[in-house]
Structure 1
């Protein structure tokens, strides 16, 4: 059931869709990198026509194309591709974060629904006690005050239940927003327990976390950018062609009269003043060191968060087991009190005290289950 909700949230999430579109843009930039500089085309008309031996020059058309140094386009493609790889990691991170949010909200919703059921069961139990108290009043084994105390206790539990109903509606609204769907009731499991044994986990799993992999991808993109910067610092070669239209000279007859001029051109662009590229190289070196520091800091943060989640999950397990023992002992005490009623006067204050303890233990056990799975969601995000 939970896996279906996670899948639905992932498929419908506008946040994930937006990041996927960013990745598509990054991939398209790889194609854009495989281009040459704009071809230059120029045309001119001689207002004052220069005369040559073969005739007057009438017009000129020029075509120029600059070519980057060998390997520059490949370096540009590799750099764009590395940025696309880093953008893809963002998709993985977003999906994992969304899965964690859905999981945590699901178990919060489970706790709210289960607590309401427990309160309803306690209300029914108090109704039974109220009938016993009324019968006891008739045979002088209890007073009217005992009945009123039971009714006050019922009012308190009813109030708790109504407050939880409001919290459940708010949590369902949050869950529907995560699923990106219209408001509708959310189905959760009827009963959830904590596994008998703690799952095995090695902290080395953290090394493969996408948030850390993102830094690796960015580091790689800076290395690719360094190669690209070095390639762009090399000369560029240009090739071109000039065409000049020549008008025939009148009243003259020779072989090249009016012959048009074709002039191939070769040019070289040399970055003599290359302080720009040296500065970029220094900036990239600084960025590499910055990323190393950021990755180490983020790794420490994730490591601390993982260890804290593991400890809190162990605490939730201990609390769950303790409340289970307390619930069993409270039920034993309840049975002893009810058996005393068969032969003696029933102390309804003791009944209320035991009932209150039993309710407290049940609610704390549900809270322990919720906390266990909230921490499990964090652990799964950090380690899987």
Structure 2
């Protein structure tokens, strides 16, 4: 993680083929570099455009400003910044093994990626916790707007604290005429400090939150999908409400699984490298690293696609956002989806379904517009 080439903190051992030309043993043929550059460029464009659109859909439309959606904005912001400020620069470094971007950006590149990953996965965890409270404990008070902002600020502050050690020990060195950005960990502790740090980070930004979300969504799923009380039927507005909650849970589970699958090979790569550092000296490792890094970074572009495919309201928002494209024609229904406020009769209807909703396994309670998730009617 951070401004690493094919292996963490191993840049000093890589030999230069030509000091005069700046080529390293890991320089690629032009056609190969062009293919990788195209793949990374597409990733960055899709991720930045998609996440910026998600943020606009939520922030520009009062109906979309819910507690859950504010965490989705936080997730989209982290993914957008990761794609814009880490992916391209780290790709250039990994493809040339020369750091072109100065000392200050070296510090930033060893700080921000860990922050962004932490913010992404803990925003997902906050969404899971919010849905857990809304569905499993519907009588408990929900987060207020102020509390939601405080949680988001807390996530960023903890992320900064977690990433700070790697930033603190970042440095710029010259290796046979080539500039390197690396993390020079202190030698005390028998050189085990970086391994211990990376293992702690790995637990905190991957395994622990995934375990929490697995447990939360398991309970949510059991609550939503368990059988109704005999003799009770769910129909009309209450049925649509229940179906919307199920669909939202499916959407977020897909988001979490996508994140886990994209990042697992990358994390395994660094765990293996911590125990067998000599693998970083093989020529093939550069291609492997670029593939694993692309897969990990691609997690930043999938969420907007998932929202658009599985959520009618986000789909309407994307049509409105790209209405300037000749092949996109938003309808009046799309505008109503984002701007229409439920009528008084609809609110009364929701209140009348309250008893039914609680009878059916406490699956949900009618929520105010501030509490509804993005897929709920």
- TM-score scaled by structure 1? 0.29
Q: Quick check: which one's strand share is greater?
A: 1
- TM-score scaled by structure 2? 0.29
Question: Which protein shows a greater Rg?
Answer: 1
